[in-house]
A and B are shown apart, each in its own frame.
Chain A
């Protein structure tokens, strides 16, 4: 039954090559922690992706309760944290996951750096990886404001002041992020839009590029 359905679709859309490209490849011994325990350092990239998936899923559930306006943002987060069943767990996963994804990504970057894996022909993948790093930092920055508590408010104010001190571009950047002359209602909705729509879209595009390049080039050889 399942096979018939698969064949019917495959006849029309030729989907076999797609999943074979994704799934059907060999993994060499030197990155396999089952053969060499020290090869666990090669897991950090996969773990970063794993935590990213957790972030996307938990974030999707958070938006079911979160309200991005200055009167209700705090109330909705407090409600989620204290009243909603498992709300504390979901918010906790998103909060701690944000730190963990930075840690994993940092370790992955160090592994790639110290094994010299960014050398030819993999230069472009390193650049895309660094762009992913910057997007993740941006996600952390914009997500920090959303609970709209004092910590969020004052940290964002300081961040925007720092952005403001960049010559020429700074004031423009600050006003763009702030959506006006003060940190207020507009700032919150802008940060929300950037955190939930703009940066995740960029992140997914970069991730696809990162993975396609890995498949094309294969993992770097043993040292």
Chain B
């Protein structure tokens, strides 16, 4: 067939008319007979040996995992005073950015210049080091640069770490993950909850059926503090009794609060409430305490 003849002449052979190139089948493995010695099959012979190395690493890894629990501090709190510390493999960068020639006026050199040159150089190493020679001692420039980088990595990391240790010592602060563990251990012994997590507890309304609830609505408190006392324009009044007693609440109704809330006494009176109602309302609000 003409079609068949044509496909024999073409260099690239396509499957049917889909223009998908027909594969060459098995990728012939590179011939290692040029190398001296005994090569062996990847599966299963070599993989078994590699797996044995893997098992040694895995055992060490699991021993580390079991003996050193992953650290966890206290929940993030923007106003906490903490010495910020990156993961250990960023320490060299962190330390180097503290030097005067890498910060302040030279910050561009610090964050862009030197990292671009060094990481760019590493990325493009094969195109910079183009000689035929592979042994490291026959490539003095590449090897020297790498050794220099390694030494500075070790130096910077070590410097940052010892500095951090000194800072901790000077301030007398323990790292938070140790503090948390200690606190959890103490609480466990006392039978208290060990969690440091943020709790979202809803405070209940005390005496919901009290007539003061109606007064609260009539006096237009509802428009800022909401029908469920959870607050809208104004703050939540649930648990307000923890903060203010009856007299303080009366004063707030009559005089307003810190310029945020206007005096509401006159509004309440003109809504048809009596002094007695308002007094009872303040008394009821003062009873709004968090359950213990």
Q: What are the residues of chain B within 8 A of A148 when measuring CB–CB? A: 75-76
Binds A, one of B38-46, B234-242, B279-287: B38-46
Would you call A120 and B76 a contact (CB within 8 A)? no
A97 CA to B94 CA, complexed, in Å: 22
Q: If the complex has contacts A20-B26, A92-B65, A102-B89, are A149 and B134 also in contact, measured as CB distance less than 8 A?
A: no
Q: Among B26, B76, B134, B139, point to the contact of A150 (Cβ < 8 A).
A: B76
A35 CA to B123 CA, complexed, in Å: 33
Interface size on A, residues (CB 8 A): 91
The yes or no answer to B68 lying at the interface (CB within 8 A) is: yes
Q: Which residue of A lies closest to B37 (CB)?
A: A29
Would you call B49 and A75 a contact (CB within 8 A)? no
Would you call B111 and A165 a contact (CB within 8 A)? yes
Binds A, one of B27-35, B225-233, B244-252, B254-262: B27-35
Q: If the complex has contacts A17-B23, A141-B90, are A46 and B50 also in contact, measured as CB distance less than 8 A?
A: yes
Q: What are the residues of chain B within 8 A of A141 when measuring CB–CB? A: 87, 90
Interface string of A85-97 (1 = CB under 8 A from B): 0001101111111
Q: If the complex has contacts A26-B40, A82-B184, A92-B70, are A130 and B76 also in contact, measured as CB distance less than 8 A?
A: no
The yes or no answer to B191 lying at the interface (CB within 8 A) is: no
**Chain A residues numbered 33-73 whose CB sits less than 8 Å from any CB in chain B:** 33-35, 40, 43, 46-47, 50-51, 54, 70-71
The yes or no answer to B155 lying at the interface (CB within 8 A) is: no
A150 CA to B38 CA, complexed, in Å: 55
Q: Among B65, B89, B146, point to the contact of A140 (Cβ < 8 A).
A: B89
A122 CA to B195 CA, complexed, in Å: 53
Would you call B134 and A116 a contact (CB within 8 A)? yes
A150 CA to B160 CA, complexed, in Å: 19
Binds A, one of B77-85, B203-211, B214-222, B266-274: B77-85
Q: What are the residues of chain A within 8 A of B143 when measuring CB–CB? A: 114
The yes or no answer to A127 lying at the interface (CB within 8 A) is: yes
Would you call B70 and A30 a contact (CB within 8 A)? no
Binds B, one of A2-10, A151-159, A192-200, A202-210: A151-159
The yes or no answer to A100 lying at the interface (CB within 8 A) is: yes
Would you call A149 and B26 a contact (CB within 8 A)? no
The yes or no answer to B112 lying at the interface (CB within 8 A) is: yes
Q: What are the residues of chain B within 8 A of A126 when measuring CB–CB? A: 125-126
Nearest Cβ in chain B — how far from A197, in angstroms? 21
Would you call A151 and B124 a contact (CB within 8 A)? no
Q: What are the residues of chain B within 8 A of A96 when measuring CB–CB? A: 61, 64-65, 68, 70
Nearest Cβ in chain A — how far from B137, in angstroms? 10
Which positions in B face A, CB cutoff 8 Å? 23, 25-27, 29-30, 32, 34-43, 45-46, 49-50, 53-54, 57-58, 61-62, 64-66, 68-78, 80, 82, 84-90, 94, 97, 107-108, 110-112, 119, 122-127, 129-136, 139, 142-143, 146, 150, 176-177, 184, 194-198, 200
Task: Rank and list the top 4 A-B pairs by shortest CB-CB distance, nearest first.
Answer: A116-B134, A218-B30, A29-B37, A95-B70
Which positions in A face B, CB cutoff 8 Å? 17, 20-21, 23-30, 32-35, 40, 43, 46-47, 50-51, 54, 70-71, 74-75, 77-79, 81-82, 88-89, 91-100, 102, 110, 113-120, 122-123, 126-127, 130-131, 134, 137, 140-141, 144, 147-155, 157-159, 162-163, 165-167, 170, 183, 215-218, 220-223
